[in-house]
Amino acid sequence: MDGIKSYILRNQLRPGDPLPTEPALCEALGASRSSVREAIRILTALDIVEVRHGHGTYVGRLSLSALVESLAFRGLLSPDDDFRVMSDLVEVRELFERGMAEQLVRALGDEEIDRLAALVDQMRRAGAGEGHGFVEADRAFHALLVAPLGNDLIAQLSAAFWDVYVIVAPHLDVFTHEHEAATIANHQRIVDALRGRDAAEFAAALTEHYAPVRHRIAEARARR
């Protein structure tokens, strides 16, 4: 595994670039075929390499999919850990967005704010039974919120934490259709704060958005 990672770094390969054939890797690394195959299997699970059957092996997307799988499984595995995972995820998501309030207010342009407003409208229609994709629109909203920063790590972490939340939340009964109206109103307040270029109001809107989520997690935990 270390040899393959070192090869990628030495040759300055990027995601999607092809790796040598299995025999060539064995020769380059001085390793047996079985060792190279096992290393590739593990690195594939970590999204460091990608095996395209019939085409070869490539540098992977280097995403945080392994982190998502690990956190989601931890949240589903233990009755004690699941609520802790949820609480931690909500806290980290809020810290990301609220901590960068001033940067986000400056970075988001009018076109992007219009797209955020359109996603709120999509959530509103879905909540009224006139459409679908409430969760998808919510996820897209938060992804678009941090996208203008141009920070790939923040974007990937934000998406990863959201993915874990969506996987674990249904098993904890912390979100129902009764909460949709409040969620829509909070997202609208975020959009309004962005239009007004008001960083303080934007941060306050995020706090108001996440506070009910924390409350619902606490209530669900108490029911357990």
Residue 221: band (very low, low, confident or very high) from pLDDT cuts 50, 70, 90: low
Taking residues 16-43, what's their average pLDDT? 93
Bridge partners, residue 192, by sequence: none
Domain co-membership, 131 together with 33 = no
Q: Which residue has the higher pLDDT, 88 or 33?
A: 33
What was the pLDDT predicted at 47? 80
- What tens digit of pLDDT does each residue of 44-70 get? 877 889 999 888 999 987 776 666 666
High-pLDDT (> 70) share of the chain, %: 79
Domain end (from 35, 59, 83): 59
Q: Indicate if the pLDDT at residue 220 is higher than 70.
A: no
Domain co-membership, 85 together with 52 = no
Lowest mean pLDDT among 33-42, 94-103, 172-181: 172-181
Q: Which residue has the tokens 């909203």?
A: 141
Domain co-membership, 8 together with 44 = yes
Domain co-membership, 91 together with 193 = yes
For helices 134-146 and 152-172, the axis angle rounded to 10 degrees is 150
Domain co-membership, 130 together with 212 = yes
Domain co-membership, 48 together with 101 = no
- What tens digit of pLDDT does each residue of 119-171 get? 999 999 987 777 668 888 988 998 899 898 888 878 877 777 777 777 766 66
Distance CA 40, CA 38 (A): 5
Q: What domain count does the chain have?
A: 2
Domain co-membership, 75 together with 37 = no
| pTM of model > 0.75 | no
Domain co-membership, 189 together with 163 = yes
What was the pLDDT predicted at 42? 87
Domain end (from 31, 59, 87): 59
Domain co-membership, 92 together with 180 = yes
Domain co-membership, 180 together with 95 = yes
Q: Which residue has the higher pLDDT, 212 or 109?
A: 109
| CATH number of the domain that residue 153 is part of | 1.20.120.530
| CATH number of the domain that residue 40 is part of | 1.10.10.10
What was the pLDDT predicted at 199? 94
What is the extent of the structural domain holding 179?
65-223
High-pLDDT (> 90) share of the chain, %: 42
Domain co-membership, 32 together with 71 = no
Domain co-membership, 40 together with 82 = no
What was the pLDDT predicted at 224? 64
Residue 107: band (very low, low, confident or very high) from pLDDT cuts 50, 70, 90: very high
